[in-house]
Structure 1
Amino acid sequence: MDSLTQIVLGAAVGEVVLGKKVGNKAMLYGAIAGTIPDLDTFASYFTDTVTALEIHRGFTHSIFFSVVFAPIFGWLVSRYDKLGNFKNWSWLFFWGFITHPLLDAHTTWGTQLFWPLDLRLAYKNIFVIDPLYTLPFLVCVIWAMRLPKTSARRRKINRLGIILSSSYLVITLILKAYTYQKFTAALGEQEVNYTSVETKPSAFNSVLWTANVDTPNAYLIGHYSIFDTQPIQFASYPKQHELLGDLKEEEKVQQLFKITQGWYTVTQKEDQIFINDLRFGLLGFQPTENRFAFSFELIKTPNGLKVKEVEKNRTQAKELLSELGNRIKGN
């Protein structure tokens, strides 16, 4: 999830663990703990694009990290803050660390909770930024923060925020199951021969959902809003994996295969080759849309193959938001 959401979750967890004893300091250190796992994003300053993507939500998002580093941070804080002891602070950091990847596991990117095992949990039932999850939670945390640390009302309000956010996650899981049934029913009606279907919510909401459908020679992408009245339409995107040629043996390309979990197409523009990650969808909702949210250009250099992520511009973002608002209302 986004940084603000993880800060809010960490603050709420900190309050549960130690708020009655240390007050707002529990929220502060909880917010810090909720932020620390995402420091793996700084890997992009020290390594190449593909390796940084592979590292993201790995080690720092694992049970191993939470267990090993919580006592270290707990000890550091206990050295100068005597309101809580080593055990208290360690416990706060553990729960701040572990709830971060548990929430991230609900997103499309997922997380390697069981690192070093090569297993990424991704339930794909909530977008990385969802105001309906974050804003009520944020209001409750700020409200609780303004009350005395010994106040029973403070604990109830903080607990309410956790209940609201958790309930919303459950609702998104129900919506995922409901929309999955809609997609598979539409594929059956259209007599599509497919091997697998993956669904996920579109940006900033849980009303409009997207399905990626694996067929022998192409991937199909369809959209469904719970307000739709017309049949689901699927657009076809040829896999064209053969365009890679010998490039498929390159280490960086193999890394991209792993990152995309096999959900990718290959496109060519003149002599440029691109690998498009289908997991994060398109920058639009029209049947003719061919701009992928994540696309990587393969560049041959004298020093070997270089992979460059295709940049997105603000104009595309504005267009996407406009289309998104209209498409959520139904077709």
Structure 2
Amino acid sequence: MDIITHLALGACSTEVLLTKKLGKKGLIWGASAQVLPDIDTLPALFLPADQSLLIHRGLTHSFLFALIAGIFLAFTVHKIYNQAGLSYTALLFFFCFQFTLHDLIDTCNSYGTGLLEPFRHQRFSINLLYVVDPLLTAGLLVGSLVLIFKCTLYPHRKKWAWAMLIISGCYTGFAAINKVYVNGKINHSFKSQQMNPAGYFTTPAPFNCMLWYLVVAVDGGYYTGYSSVWDDPQQSVRYEKHLKNDSLNVKIGDKRVLQHLITFADPYYTLSQTGSSLYLNVLRFGQVQGWRMPNAPFVLSYPLNASGNQTVLLQKGRLAGWNKSSLEAYIRRIAGNTP
């Protein structure tokens, strides 16, 4: 998830677990622990993008890191505040909880999280929340601001923290219900359109959990589509076909980069060619306004024959073309009005 969500989640959960003995200093420790796993974004400044993609949400997002970092921070805080009456065991639980909570909420979006690194390189993702969801973050942010600006003697601090955590938890439950509903609709569409997919996944479209992006694996490629929970139940899902184009492999010189990207795509990708340039498109990240434009380009499209660090080129089109008009159209699409 985005850093604001992690910081706000860290502050609210810390108020419930720790601030009784540490006061507002506990908010700083909790919020810091909540974002620490994302320190793995720093290698992106120095490594080629294909490698930094795999490093992010790898080892520092594992249960092993949660335990080791939890032990270290618990020892550090226990030494600093040894007069505060906090036991080492309580601090160990607190920091391990913060790291594990970070990891688990990150599995809710489509990037993939290496919970079992370095023993197993599988990435886990349940595709439940978009990486930036204002409706999820709003309550946590309000709660954290209350905790920051209200004095430690304010009697309702913990009530605010609990309320915002429950609201965000209920929103996550709402997203889960929506996903189950959309998946049921998708499975019905397979039968009505006589499709026999090898696999599929659904993940939220940008900034909400009511419009869902669909990717269906078939022989030779994929179908993509969009479905809102407010669409007419009798309305068929409209799919677009994308060829996988594995035959373009022979034109790619650096097979190592290609393999890194295929591993990251796990395994939803296509190859495409524009002029003399070859691209690997990672389907899990969606399309640029694909909900309104047929055959929209994919958000994460890696130039395979480019030189240097191409990190700045990745996801460059996520918000391309967004303006007041497109935003209004997007809200209408979420509400069930198809273009």
Tell me by how many angstroms 1:114 deviates.
1.6
Q: Is the 8 A contact 2:57 2:114 kept in 1?
A: yes
For residues 110 and 283 of structure 2, the distance between their equivalents in structure 1, rounded to whole angstroms, comes to 11
For residues 236 and 127 of structure 1, the distance between their equivalents in structure 2, rounded to whole angstroms, comes to 24
Residue 224 of structure 2 is matched in structure 1 by: 221
Q: 1:266 to 1:121 in 2, by over 3 A?
A: same
3-state SS of 2:115 partner:
coil
Q: Is the 8 A contact 1:296 1:310 kept in 2?
A: yes
For residues 289 and 84 of structure 1, the distance between their equivalents in structure 2, rounded to whole angstroms, comes to 61
**Aligned residue among 261, 278, 284 for 1:273:** 278
Instruction: Point out where structure 2 has 5 or more consecutive residues left out of the alignment.
Output: none
Q: 1:208 to 1:164 in 2, by over 3 A?
A: same
3-state SS of 1:316 partner:
coil
Of 129-138 and 156-165, the range deviating more from structure 2: 156-165
Specify the code of the residue in structure 1 equivalent to 2:57: R
Tell me by how many angstroms 1:300 deviates.
6.4
For residues 85 and 177 of structure 1, the distance between their equivalents in structure 2, rounded to whole angstroms, comes to 43
Superposition map of 1:254-265 within 5 A:
254-265=259-270
Specify the code of the residue in structure 1 equivalent to 2:33: A
Specify the code of the residue in structure 2 equivalent to 1:31: A
For residues 36 and 128 of structure 2, the distance between their equivalents in structure 1, rounded to whole angstroms, comes to 24
Aligned length: 328
Q: Is the 8 A contact 2:111 2:125 kept in 1?
A: yes
Of 175-184 and 87-96, the range deviating more from structure 2: 87-96
Residue 56 of structure 1 is matched in structure 2 by: 56
For residues 156 and 131 of structure 2, the distance between their equivalents in structure 1, rounded to whole angstroms, comes to 31
Report whether the alignment pairs 1:239 with 2:241: no
For residues 48 and 86 of structure 1, the distance between their equivalents in structure 2, rounded to whole angstroms, comes to 44
Quote the RMSD (CA, aligned, Å): 2.3
For residues 310 and 28 of structure 2, the distance between their equivalents in structure 1, rounded to whole angstroms, comes to 39
**Aligned residue among 308, 328, 331 for 2:334:** 328
Q: Is the 8 A contact 1:22 1:84 kept in 2?
A: no
Specify the code of the residue in structure 1 equivalent to 2:40: D
Residue 142 of structure 1 is matched in structure 2 by: 145
Q: 1:210 to 1:315 in 2, by over 3 A?
A: closer
For residues 287 and 65 of structure 1, the distance between their equivalents in structure 2, rounded to whole angstroms, comes to 42
Q: 1:317 to 1:64 in 2, by over 3 A?
A: farther
Residue 113 of structure 2 is matched in structure 1 by: 111
3-state SS of 1:113 partner:
coil
For residues 169 and 23 of structure 2, the distance between their equivalents in structure 1, rounded to whole angstroms, comes to 23
Specify the code of the residue in structure 2 equivalent to 1:2: D
Residue 47 of structure 1 is matched in structure 2 by: 47
Q: 1:129 to 1:231 in 2, by over 3 A?
A: same
Sequence identity (%): 28
For residues 183 and 272 of structure 2, the distance between their equivalents in structure 1, rounded to whole angstroms, comes to 28
Tell me by how many angstroms 1:80 deviates.
3.6
Q: 1:300 to 1:168 in 2, by over 3 A?
A: closer
Report whether the alignment pairs 1:286 with 2:288: no
Tell me by how many angstroms 1:148 deviates.
5.1
3-state SS of 2:209 partner:
coil
Instruction: Point out where structure 1 has 5 or more consecutive residues left out of the alignment.
Output: none
Q: Is the 8 A contact 2:299 2:314 kept in 1?
A: no
Residue 185 of structure 1 is matched in structure 2 by: 188
Q: Is the 8 A contact 1:298 1:306 kept in 2?
A: no
Residue 304 of structure 2 is matched in structure 1 by: 298
Q: 1:247 to 1:315 in 2, by over 3 A?
A: closer
For residues 126 and 312 of structure 1, the distance between their equivalents in structure 2, rounded to whole angstroms, comes to 21
Residue 72 of structure 2 is matched in structure 1 by: 72
For residues 278 and 177 of structure 2, the distance between their equivalents in structure 1, rounded to whole angstroms, comes to 39
Tell me by how many angstroms 1:147 deviates.
4.7
Q: Is the 8 A contact 1:225 1:328 kept in 2?
A: yes
Report whether the alignment pairs 1:93 with 2:98: no
